[in-house]
Amino acid sequence: MDAPHLVDGRFFPPLSSAGQPARLRVAPGEGAPMVSAALADGTALDALAVDDVQAGDTLHFAGGGSFIADRPLPPEVTALFQSPMRRRIARLEAFSLPKAVLLGLALILCVAGVRAALPAAARAVALAVPERLERTIGDRSYATLARMGLAASEIPEERRQTLARRAADLAGAARLTRRPEIVFHRAPGFGANAMALPGGPIVVTDALVELLGSDDAVLAVLAHEMAHVERRHSLQQVLAVAGAAAMASVVLGVDDSLLEELSATVVNVWSFKNSRDFEKEADLVGMDILRAGGMDPALLADAIAALTTQACARLAGDARARCLSEAGAAETGWLSTHPGAKDRLGYLREALGR
Amino acid sequence: MGNEAERAEPAIRSIDFHGRAGEYFGIWISNLFLSIVTLGIYSAWAKVRRVRYFYNATRIQGTPFSYHATGKQILIGRVVSCVVIAVYTLITTFVPLAVLPFSIAFAIALPWLINRSLRFQARMTSWRNVRFDWHGTYGKNFLFFLVCPLVAMLSLGLLMPPISRATYRYFAESHAFGVTRFRTRATVAAYYKAFLAALVLPVAAAVAVGAAVALTQPGFAAGGWLGLLPFLMVPAFAFLFMFQVMYRVACRNILLRSMTLGDAVTFDSRLGPLRVLWIALSNAVAILFSLGLLVPWAMVRTYRYQAENTGVGLADDAPAFLDAQTQAVGAFGEEFMDLEGLEFGI
Ligand SMILES: [Zn+2]
């Protein structure tokens, strides 16, 4: 066993700035080092628990006291109080030019890699996020939406129950691991809309049900939304944004609000591209769900076409043609949060052809 | 300041900062690397490393500052704010109109958030085994951080000096070292002087640019300038930025020079407004041209300039005063979360 280290300095009792000369004895042991102190007034303190060592000369004890050494502590003493992980990170942090160049290159690769692999990485992390946290986000969002103007649905209860039951049957037939609850609300501000909140519930507005008319068409949209929940799209979206924002905050420190604005814009563009991929996936998985439930997958394409036609009905000529391909981007409702009908109907028909 | 005659002027010594750009670069790039590899999770620990590096390298009377927040605490705070931001992002994508009620709710919550954030920041900082503290209130935060800036703007800046005085005073006097509050006694006149001084250069620059444009482009004066309004926005923002930087520096100087802790500690601040402007601009250029690699250098350089030009004076009875400092029991910040994105400083 190594000999104990003796360090001279000042000892400060908890909550006080009145220090007195003291000699600290640090004995390396099996686990945590044994620390004791002999104060100038004759007091002896045993088994001091060290919280952390800062500035190379200051030891903070659990419970609030501290010890400031007269001279910087030898590195081997400081190292005694570092976890193996912290020691490894400290080695990484020690500056040398070759290491800086190497880390810099690794960083550029990482940024490029993350940029390319962000969706996949977000998916991997999403799998690690506890379902409870996902549900918390979903529940809070639902509560907030409810406060903002979700009224009781005016769709006959019988029909709502039929729709919910058929959606549950679809989820069962497609062997989905997540079976979100379907809730109906009258919500004038939200337009004809269906929203898949993370981990559940799917909110359907009365306007959507009325506009689509047939239950089959509503179920097609629900299949798309269930695909969002099943693949945890909202959560991945949030993770991608949070990850990118966290990176930006580390890169830029905290002081530069202008650069922060800039990074927020980048994050938005990023997540927008992401969301198009998610929508495509939800459309394709949604069709699989319909197929598994013995329904016609073309129903989804029909529902999108019906919603688009309805949204553009008021326009005429060129404006109408443009609206039909862009799906009335300014409108509040399901279409406004989804890609243009031209793209979507294109790949949907392609998938149907196969 | 009438007691200068009867008391010996305490010797003012500048704050010691021995951080080095190369050393910090290693920490910075490791933080960055680990944060990216862990998809942002490490960034909470990265923050601790960053703040600790600057605090630990800062010494008064040979004693360093310590930072006590842990990565776990900050991570919890970040998860909480992530949930809030997630809810906001989701709902505003579904319902774009929801931005308005959210903004109102945010304005209502802001003073509370500021309180939590400043208290956490203060309580996680210690010097000589005593932690700092923050005693602000919701009402006063609302007044000073939300209402006052609005009033200053509506008065076209005319009421800015008294408002600055009150705000800076509130900020400083709500902070405490242990249980002793900081005190300030700057006059409104000092702030008006700073306000006018900060105006001189931007106004002169604006007049010079205006004159140059009018002379070389006679068409402007004849009314053609309306079409060029967008181009005038750029210099206008530049002048505003210049004014803002110089005025803030002057306010910091006034505040710190008039600040005391107990009867034993005085402070000094001698930042040069032009110098700060130069540092900010040259930092921006250096960061831009190094693709961000000079961020650590810029941070250390800014911090060093501030430390070198900030002084602390200890009167003869200061050792006794400092020894007598205690901290209220329960001021440990363990139960407080860090609320990210809200950092206030002077
Ligand atoms: Zn969708």
Which of A11, A12, A17, A91 should one mutate to test binding to chain B, selecting the residue with the greatest count of B CBs within 10 A?
A: A17
What residues form DSSP beta bridges with A5? Answer: A26
Q: According to the model, what pLDDT value does residue B66 have?
A: 94
Q: Residue B293 and residue A244: Cα distance in Å, rounded? A: 18
Q: When comparing pLDDT for B153 and A324, which is higher? A: B153
Q: According to the model, what pLDDT value does residue A130 have?
A: 77
> Domain tally for chain A?
2
Q: Residue A142 and residue A138: Cα distance in Å, rounded? A: 6
Residues A85 and A161 in one domain: no
Q: Tens digit of pLDDT for each residue in B272-285? A: 999 999 998 898 88
- Using the predicted structure, report yes or no on whether residue B55 has a pLDDT greater than 50: yes
Q: Residue A61: closest CA among chain B residues belongs to which residue?
A: B129
CB pair distance less than 8 Å for A12 and B128: yes
CB pair distance less than 8 Å for A55 and B29: no
Average pLDDT over residues B86-114: 79
Q: Which of B83, B299, B324 sits opposite A140 (nearest CB)?
A: B83
Q: Tens digit of pLDDT for each residue in A268-313? A: 555 555 677 788 888 999 999 999 999 998 898 888 888 877 777 7
**Alpha-carbon distance B230 to nearest alpha carbon in chain A (angstroms):** 20
- Using the predicted structure, report yes or no on whether residue A159 has a pLDDT greater than 90: yes
Q: According to the model, what pLDDT value does residue B324 have?
A: 77
Q: Is B263 on the interface with A (CB under 8 A)?
A: no
Nearest to B263 by CA among B328, B187, B320, B178: B320
Q: When comparing pLDDT for A105 and A6, which is higher? A: A6
Q: What's this model's pTM, rounded to 2 decimal places?
A: 0.73
Average pLDDT over residues B129-146: 91
Nearest to B47 by CA among B26, B29, B70: B70
CA A161 to chain centre: 33
Asked, for residue A212, whether it belongs to a domain, the answer is: yes
Element of type H or E holding A141: helix A131-147
Asked, for residue A241, whether it belongs to a domain, the answer is: yes
Q: According to the model, what pLDDT value does residue B341 have?
A: 34
Q: Ligand 1 centre and the CA of A136: distance in Å?
A: 21
Q: When comparing pLDDT for B83 and A66, which is higher? A: A66
**Alpha-carbon distance A323 to nearest alpha carbon in chain B (angstroms):** 20
Residues A344 and A252 in one domain: yes
Residues A86 and A149 in one domain: no
Q: Ligand 1 centre and the CA of A249: distance in Å?
A: 30
Average pLDDT over residues A184-199: 84
Q: What one-character-per-residue DSSP string does A245-275 give?
A: HHHHHHHHTTT-HHHHHHHHHHHHHHHHHHH
Q: According to the model, what pLDDT value does residue B322 have?
A: 81
Phi/psi for A78 (5° steps) reads -55, -40
Q: Residue A129: closest CA among chain B residues belongs to which residue?
A: B79
Q: Tens digit of pLDDT for each residue in A119-135? A: 666 677 777 777 787 88
Asked, for residue A173, whether it belongs to a domain, the answer is: yes
Give the 3-state secondary structure of residue B261: strand
Q: When comparing pLDDT for A267 and A136, which is higher? A: A136
Q: According to the model, what pLDDT value does residue B113 have?
A: 82
For the complex shown, is ipTM > 0.85? no
Residue A37's alpha-carbon distances to A5, A78, A224, B14, in angstroms, are: 12, 17, 67, 33
Query: E strands within B20-167?
Result: 58-60, 63-67, 125-127, 130-134
Domain of A279 in residue numbering reads as: 112-352
Residues A244 and A328 in one domain: yes
Residues A69 and A143 in one domain: no
Q: Ligand 1 centre and the CA of A279: distance in Å?
A: 5
Q: According to the model, what pLDDT value does residue B217 have?
A: 66
Residues A69 and A118 in one domain: no
Residues A81 and A117 in one domain: no
User: Please, which pLDDT band fits residue B230 given cuts at 50, 70 and 90?
Assistant: low
Asked, for residue A229, whether it belongs to a domain, the answer is: yes
Asked, for residue A104, whether it belongs to a domain, the answer is: no
Average pLDDT over residues B298-323: 88
- Sort out which chain A residues have CB atoms less than 8 A from B314's CB and list them: none
**Alpha-carbon distance A332 to nearest alpha carbon in chain B (angstroms):** 7
Q: Residue B241: closest CA among chain A residues belongs to which residue?
A: A258
Residues A18 and A132 in one domain: no
- Using the predicted structure, report yes or no on whether residue B154 has a pLDDT greater than 80: yes
Q: Tens digit of pLDDT for each residue in B251-280? A: 999 999 999 998 889 999 999 999 999 998
Identify the domain boundary among A28, A59, A93. Answer: A93
Identify the domain boundary among A32, A65, A93. Answer: A93
Asked, for residue A147, whether it belongs to a domain, the answer is: yes
Q: Quick check: B257 and B269 in contact, CB under 8 A? A: yes
Asked, for residue A106, whether it belongs to a domain, the answer is: no
Element of type H or E holding A50: strand A50-54
- Using the predicted structure, report yes or no on whether residue A58 has a pLDDT greater than 90: yes
Output the average pLDDT for chain A.
80
Q: Residue A238 and residue A162: Cα distance in Å, rounded? A: 33
Q: According to the model, what pLDDT value does residue A243 have?
A: 60
Q: Quick check: B279 and B302 in contact, CB under 8 A? A: yes
Q: According to the model, what pLDDT value does residue B278 have?
A: 93
Residues A218 and A322 in one domain: yes
Q: Is A329 on the interface with B (CB under 8 A)?
A: no
Asked, for residue A305, whether it belongs to a domain, the answer is: yes
- Using the predicted structure, report yes or no on whether residue A8 has a pLDDT greater than 50: yes
Q: Residue B167 and residue B148: Cα distance in Å, rounded? A: 8
**Alpha-carbon distance A215 to nearest alpha carbon in chain B (angstroms):** 23
Q: When comparing pLDDT for B92 and B200, which is higher? A: B200
Among residues 118-147 of chain A, which lie with CB inside 8 Å of chain B?
Answer: 121-122, 125, 133, 136-137, 140-141, 144-145
Residues A127 and A257 in one domain: yes
Residues A187 and A291 in one domain: yes
Output the average pLDDT for chain B.
81
- Using the predicted structure, report yes or no on whether residue B215 has a pLDDT greater than 60: yes
Q: Ligand 1 centre and the CA of A332: distance in Å?
A: 14
Q: Ligand 1 centre and the CA of A234: distance in Å?
A: 10
Considering only the C-alpha atoms of chain A, give the largest distance between any 2 of them, rounded to a whole number of Å.
Answer: 96
Q: Is A263 on the interface with B (CB under 8 A)?
A: no
Average pLDDT over residues B101-107: 84
Residues A127 and A36 in one domain: no
